[in-house]
Amino acid sequence: MIGRVQRESDGRRDAPVVRADAGVSYVMPVLNERGYLRRAVESVLAQETGGPIELILALGPSTDGTTELARELAAADPRIVLVANPAADIPVGLNLAIRTGRYPTIIRVDAHSELADGYALRALETLARVRAANVGGVMRAEGRTPFQRAVARAYNSPFGLGGGAYHGGTVEGEAESAYLGVLRRSVLEEVGGFDESIRRGEDWELNLRIRRAGYRVWFDPDLSVTYWPRESWSRLARQFVATGRWRGELVRRFGRGNSVRFFAPPLLVLNLVLALLVGVAQAAGLVTGTVGLIASLVYLPIAAYIVLIVAVALGRGGGTGWRDRLWTAAVLPTMHLAWGAGFLVGVLRGADDTVDTSRLGQRNTPLP
């Protein structure tokens, strides 16, 4: 299904504008999301669009009762359509759902998130106003437990995930990528849909092709989506290792098309490895005198990083309770180091068949 546009366009192209009542197809890949699916679906079906809608759930082989819940929801509302996604890969599920849909505008949604009131109508207005091919807004992470709240604060902090526009931007304008996204079907078909060989970062790669085709990807800070992060440390670490490894794969494929901010976590990992080697050499007496003093400079970035972690954990962004602050101090380096280590492996060896195992076999507590 992939028809990549390989060179940068010489000029801008306006995406087509469709009738306000032409209809919207929401597409949602789903795997082991029983604790979140009902609220996610309800937030979609409550949206106003000025025309007909459908919600297409691409169901992976869940083990927690998600499929049964999806069938229950579909039986209660004819706007919900179910398609099987036995591969369980997100881009495969998205393409299946998009091909099943009938309407000229596609709104990507996530089973781990909830659309704010008025999201769809605002997005459709922005899409038509700026003639963009894809419009996205702010990911507002939230949590219920001290751990999940700490992860949410990290997501919402420029220090946590590198300051991308959809992690807290306030200025409307063209963007590198879009969180979830509201897209014109005709542009999706033109650039070839989601690349099914990319299991993580598929949205960034799609938006790269959209921009290379000359279309706009647009950020609107008035659009908001609530995102519920992983609920345990092990799942968070596995998620970020997989995401980092796929980013390394994308660097192998697209090189300078990647933002500079993606290289900060792997540099941190390399700095830690170098500091460990220097420390061992100094302890063994192999590096002494002036050389040892110069080599000790490798510790400065690490000291600065630790100070920054402590400052974030103790500051307003660290939460109010002591458990929240401790988890914040643990979550931030977990995200950075897991992502950075995965990135380095991805750059050196590629992503191969790496999957986000944090989505497999999980048991989620239903949202209140």
- 334: which DSSP letter? H
Residue with tokens 């920054």: 308
| 312 sits in which H/E element | helix 299-314
- Within 8 A by CB and 6+ apart from 56, the residues are 25, 26, 27, 28, 80, 81, 82, 83, 97, 100, 101
CB 30 within 8 A of CB 58: yes
Average pLDDT, integer, range 28-38: 93
Residues in the chain: 368
Q: What is the pTM of this model?
A: 0.87
Confidence of residue 9 (pLDDT cuts 50, 70, 90): very low
pLDDT given at position 7: 38
* Every domain of the chain and the residues it spans: 24-230, 256-358
Give the pair of three-digit tokens for residue 20.
């306000």
Rounded to an integer, what distance in angstroms lies between the CA atom of residue 354 and that of residue 248? 12
Note the pLDDT tens digit of each residue in 75-110. Answer: 999 999 999 999 889 999 999 999 999 999 999 999
Give the pair of three-digit tokens for residue 353.
């068949």
Note the pLDDT tens digit of each residue in 207-217. Answer: 999 999 999 99
Average pLDDT, integer, range 156-177: 77
pLDDT given at position 4: 38
CATH code assigned to 24-230: 3.90.550.10
DSSP SS3 for 163: coil
- 12: which DSSP letter? -
**Between 151 and 165, the higher pLDDT residue:** 151
Distances (CA, A) of 147 to 39, 322, 329, 360: 21, 11, 11, 20
Confidence of residue 8 (pLDDT cuts 50, 70, 90): very low
Distances (CA, A) of 355 to 20, 36, 44, 199: 38, 21, 27, 7
| Among 102, 116, 109, 80, residue whose Cα is nearest residue 18 | 102
Note the pLDDT tens digit of each residue in 196-208. Answer: 999 988 999 999 9
Distances (CA, A) of 16 to 51, 107, 112, 147, 173: 17, 16, 30, 44, 19
First vs last Cα of the chain: how many Å apart?
Answer: 40
pLDDT given at position 12: 81
Give the residue ranges of DSSP H helices in 77-175: 90-100, 119-130, 146-156, 158-161
Rounded to an integer, what distance in angstroms lies between the CA atom of residue 216 and that of residue 174? 6
